[in-house]
Amino acid sequence: MGSGLNGAAIALPLDEIVAGLRVARERWRTSQQRLQEVGGRELPSREALREIVDRLSGVLFPMRLGPPDLRHESEDYYIGHTLDAALQSLLQQVRLELRYQARHDAHRQRDVEARALDLVRSFGGALPAIRVLLDSDVLAAYRGDPAARSVDEVLLCYPGVLAMIHHRLAHQLYLLGVPLLARLVAESAHAQTGIDIHPGARIGPGFFIDHGTGVVIGETAEIGRDVRVYQAVTLGAKRFVTDEDGQLHKGGARHPIVEDGVVIYAGATILGRVTIGQGSTIGGNVWLTRSVPSGSRITQAQSREDVREDSLVAPLA
């Protein structure tokens, strides 16, 4: 039953809709060879991961991203309490992913609990190093933007810093072997900021994304120290290898390597496993599919020759 505009109840065919949805679910599960199991959810929760990241953000920056009434003398107590809650919740999500990974392997199913505990302990142990990396990102944003009045403003307001908090956490999860959790964390940042960084991307210290909207960084991209990129920059794949049935081959290094001290201006698109040499500057709206040596200054006019053979390029991450 529901209510009309005047508050009167209206009859809805709820039983038919529920039955139709059940048929659709069963058809999908059969086509995907999913086992029908009794119990709770099979996959990790987006909502749970968002809450975990919020708590971890407060743990990493308690006096800036923690509760508004926190006092300095209570920092360690707050961090300990919040960290315990965040890691306990993360443990539940890790179990779900590891069980999902092992659903067709009885041997792996038996050691899910031990692996989950080891993984969460390792993740927690990496948080001090993640804080150090994030400090370098915040300083890079402050030093690289003349409009920034303080490091606190950068941390509280800049979407690029928010994206990097998520990425540093997501990348650690990716390295530890829970890529679905890592992707959920990354996609939360993508939804909030418009910045799409795959958790597999390797990004060195002092990374600054200015403005940020529309930035795409692919899974196998490698970015060195003190790199700055502007809005709408893509570090993507040039072509995708397929098998004889037309199915994409997964994996393989397919995204750019960006060396230390590179600046990439707004709208630039760099595709394929190419190297942008140390200290180079890539101009706005450049389309680049070749490596360039250290110290290069690439403009649109210099990059036009790269377009001629790339009419079928798919700049996807």
Q: Tens digit of pLDDT for each residue in 41-51?
A: 789 999 999 99
Evaluate whether residue 199 is within a structural domain. Answer: no
Please state, in angstroms and rounded to a whole number, the distance separating the CA atoms of residues 261 and 138: 16
pLDDT category at 296 given cuts 50, 70, 90 is very high
Evaluate whether residue 79 is within a structural domain. Answer: yes
pLDDT category at 249 given cuts 50, 70, 90 is confident
Please, which residues have CB within 8 angstroms of residue 86's CB and are 6 or more apart in sequence?
Answer: 52, 55, 56, 59
Evaluate whether residue 64 is within a structural domain. Answer: yes
Q: Token digits for 249?
A: 């081959």
Evaluate whether residue 139 is within a structural domain. Answer: yes
Evaluate whether residue 82 is within a structural domain. Answer: yes
Together in a domain, 163 and 57: yes
User: Tell me, what DSSP letter sits at residue 304?
Assistant: G
Together in a domain, 59 and 180: yes
- pLDDT, residue 6, reads 63
* pTM of the entire predicted model: 0.87
- pLDDT, residue 272, reads 96
Lowest mean pLDDT among 30-39, 286-295, 301-310: 301-310
CA 290 vs CA 8, 277, 298, 315: distances in Å:
66, 11, 11, 14
Together in a domain, 43 and 181: yes
Provide Rg for the chain, Cα atoms.
Answer: 23
Together in a domain, 43 and 190: yes
Together in a domain, 169 and 257: no
Evaluate whether residue 59 is within a structural domain. Answer: yes
* CATH code: domain of residue 70: 1.10.3130.10
Together in a domain, 256 and 307: yes
- How does 76-86 read in b/e, with b if 16+ C-beta sit within 10 Å? eebbeebbeeb
Together in a domain, 50 and 188: yes
Together in a domain, 96 and 52: yes
Tell me which residue range forms the domain holding 272: 214-317
Please state, in angstroms and rounded to a whole number, the distance separating the CA atoms of residues 222 and 229: 14
* CATH code: domain of residue 219: 2.160.10.10
- pLDDT, residue 39, reads 59
pLDDT category at 10 given cuts 50, 70, 90 is confident
Instruction: Tell which of 150, 166, 194 closes a domain.
Output: 194
| Backbone CA torsion sign across 55, 56, 57, 58 | positive
- Rounded to 10 degrees, the C-alpha dihedral 66/72/77/80 comes to 50
Together in a domain, 189 and 50: yes
Overall number of domains in the chain: 2
Together in a domain, 136 and 72: yes
What's the chain's average pLDDT? Answer: 90
Evaluate whether residue 30 is within a structural domain. Answer: no
Lowest mean pLDDT among 40-49, 51-60, 80-89, 254-263: 40-49
Together in a domain, 253 and 183: no
Together in a domain, 181 and 228: no
Please state, in angstroms and rounded to a whole number, the distance separating the CA atoms of residues 302 and 160: 29
Instruction: Tell which of 159, 194, 229 closes a domain.
Output: 194
Residue 36 has pLDDT above 90, yes or no: no
- pLDDT, residue 4, reads 55
Owner of token pair 């597999």: 200
Please state, in angstroms and rounded to a whole number, the distance separating the CA atoms of residues 31 and 25: 10
User: Tell me, what DSSP letter sits at residue 248?
Assistant: B
Evaluate whether residue 204 is within a structural domain. Answer: no
Lowest mean pLDDT among 1-15, 115-129, 170-184, 235-249: 1-15
Please, which residues have CB within 8 angstroms of residue 58's CB and are 6 or more apart in sequence?
Answer: 65, 66, 67, 78, 82
Please state, in angstroms and rounded to a whole number, the distance separating the CA atoms of residues 92 and 86: 10
Residue 315 has pLDDT above 50, yes or no: no
